[in-house]
Amino acid sequence: MALKDGKEPVDVIALDELPAELGVFIEEMAQGTGALYGEEAAEEYRQQAPALFQANLENQSAGLLASVTPDGACTGLLLMLLDDGLGRVGLVHVRTPFRGADHEQALGRAAVAVLRGAGAERILFHFLPLCELNLEPALTGLGFWTAPHLLMGVDLEEAPWAAGEPETSRPLTQDDIPRAAAIIAAAYRDHPARNIDREVQDPDNAARFLALAQNGGYGRVEPGWLRVLEREGELTGVAVAAQAAPGVGFLIQLAVAPECQGSGAGKTLLRDMGRAFRVDGYSRMALGVLASNPARKLYDNHGFHVLRHVDTHVWQRPNS
């Protein structure tokens, strides 16, 4: 049966086993990863993805949805997670032959229905797409707002500021975590990202974020990849990073105490993190930033360029 616009109807089902087409999905997503970070990253994705999909399938807090054609072919996948009232959609991918036929919108609507039905107070579609997607029409109609982000990157081998050892900052210690967490929360008090990322909303959440990052929760991490800056014995800034792909370090967080913003602390932390990556043999650095964030000027001035435009979609239950 065809719809009036000639498109086939799209059904969405919850999966209790991995689809027969998983290998096709993994290969397409590996190619998308390689387009951003290189063939070594693509091969790593091919090797790791099957186990990651299986682990999410077995996770009681996670859910895997599939869009299917009338003959049962799996055309798209969506991975979601519900944790303490926060629903996160961490992956949406539609196979090449089915793009542009609203499969991602069907998946998005179904995920929102499931997460709202399970009691989610907030829902985030917050992930790096590895194919062309158009979720906004479906989600806007469901009360979501959109926060445009940029994925940016720089070749550290061509960045003079990344040469040598880190100069001014030092690795974060356990004793630093309370103050570093307080700096993150204070830095984001009036920042629009506070409405998106739970990790920056208060010191307790920020401390959990730092502990998770230390333990590799955001990817492989080296000892010098959580850094703090001091002035007269007081912490003034913090930077957190992890591996995005082989040879690519990702700056997850850079926060400066409000009273020290504009002093060059952010520039110092950025440069020292780039140097730490180079010391550990990493040749590229990437980060994500709100498109409207004034910090983008800092990254532009250090040679970062836009790798991809990424939209984050956010919904908050009214009166919650």
Q: Alpha carbon 254 to chain centroid distance?
A: 15
Q: How many CB atoms lie within 10 A of CB 36?
A: 18
User: Is pLDDT at 305 greater than 70 in this prediction?
Assistant: yes
For position 4, what pLDDT does the model report? Answer: 33
Domain 11-143: CATH architecture, name and number where available = 3-Layer(aba) Sandwich (3.40)
pLDDT interval class at 82 (50, 70, 90)? very high
pLDDT in tens, 48-64: 999 999 999 999 889 99
Cα–Cα distance between 211 and 233 in angstroms, integer?
22
Q: Which residue(s) pair with 105 in the sheet?
A: none
Lowest mean per-residue pLDDT among 49-58, 192-201, 276-285: 192-201
pLDDT of residue 153: 96
Query: Strands 74-83 and 86-94: what pairing?
Result: antiparallel
* Entry field: residues in the chain: 320
Looking up tokens 């998308």 gives 32
- Cβ within 8 Å of residue 310, ≥6 positions away: 128, 129, 148, 149, 150, 151, 288
pLDDT digit string (tens) for 227-273? Answer: 999 988 899 999 999 999 999 999 999 999 999 988 899 999 999 99
CATH topology of domain 153-310: Aminopeptidase (3.40.630)
**pLDDT at residue 6 above 50?**
no
Q: Which helix (H) or strand (E) holds 278?
A: helix 265-279
Q: Give me the residue label for tokens 């799996």.
A: 74
CATH topology of 11-143 equal to that of 153-310? Answer: yes
User: Which pLDDT score, from 0 to 100, does residue 267 have?
Assistant: 95
Tell me phi and psi for residue 2, to 5 degrees.
Answer: -110, 150
User: How is the chain split into domains, by residue range?
Assistant: 11-143, 153-310
Query: In which residue are the tokens 């850094």 written?
Result: 227
> pTM higher than 0.75 for the full model?
yes
